[in-house]
Structure 1
Amino acid sequence: MAKIRVSYEYTEAEDKSIRLGFFLIVSGIVSLFILGFCWLNPALQDLQGKAANCTVLSVQQIGELFECTFTCGTDCKGTSLYPCLQIYVNNSESNSRALLHQDQHQLITNPKPRHGRTSSQVL
């Protein structure tokens, strides 16, 4: 038996529906690009910190030690204990005394200094 090929022509309503679907997909993609470049990018740039000049006021070594793992090559790995330092600076932007933190995670984990009234800064 021979297979019969049936050529199917779209009706005018189906053709309009397909065009509408493609138009909605394209306009959605264009809207995402506009949203990303015009709204999201400036909002993300506002979240970044501003540069400020800081003057070191004091460096204090606390009696605590923390463990740090390190690698110095493919076969070189280890752990070591390092002293904990508190570095206080004078922030030129706000003209206030601040305790420096290495990163945002450390600032969230240890938000308050041990003594004195200071604010916190991320390096």
Structure 2
Amino acid sequence: MGKIRVAYEYSEAEDKSIRLGLFLIVSGVVSLFILGFCWLNPALQDLQGTTANCTVLSVQQIEESFECTFTCGSDCKGTSLYPCLQIYVNNSESNSRALLHQDEQQLITNPKVGAPHNSSPTPR
């Protein structure tokens, strides 16, 4: 049994449609590469933090006290008070004076207070 081979020729409209589709696919891929290299890569590099050296300028203990909730195991939970300790540093990257904070959450909770200064565990 022999195979019958049918040759099919595209019409001019079909040929133009196929070329247009291939052109759109290729231009979309090229656009993604351009977007990735020219816009996304520098934006991602800006998000990465740079290391800086900080020099302590002054340390002050303010009269205010703040609550600190801590856990040190499944049966060990508590709340304690810690004094407000302000540590001012000079940032070598921006050459500016800044208040040192333990983490970003502490900065949001109380922007006036620096790192807690007590013997109890601190929240992380």
TM-score (norm 2): 0.56
Structure (1 or 2) with the greater strand fraction: 1
Map of 1:113 onto structure 2: 112
Q: Does 1:30 align with 2:41?
A: no
**Aligned-pair CA distance for 1:17:** 0.8
1:42-93 CA distance string (max 9 Å, x none): 13323444432101232647511233567x7xxx587544646543212223
Instruction: For structure 2, list consecutive stretches of 5 or more residues without a partner in the other structure.
Output: 1-6, 114-124
Q: Percent identity?
A: 65
How do 1:1-123 and structure 2 match up within 5 A? 10-56=10-56, 57-58=58-59, 60=61, 63-68=65-70, 76=74, 79-81=77-79, 83=82, 85-101=85-101, 102-103=103-104, 107=107, 109=108, 112-113=111-112
CA RMSD of aligned residues (A): 3.5
Q: Which has the higher contact order (CA 8 A, sep 6+)?
A: 2
The alignment covers a number of residue pairs equal to 102
Structure with greater Cα Rg:
2
Deviation at 1:20, TM superposition (A): 0.9
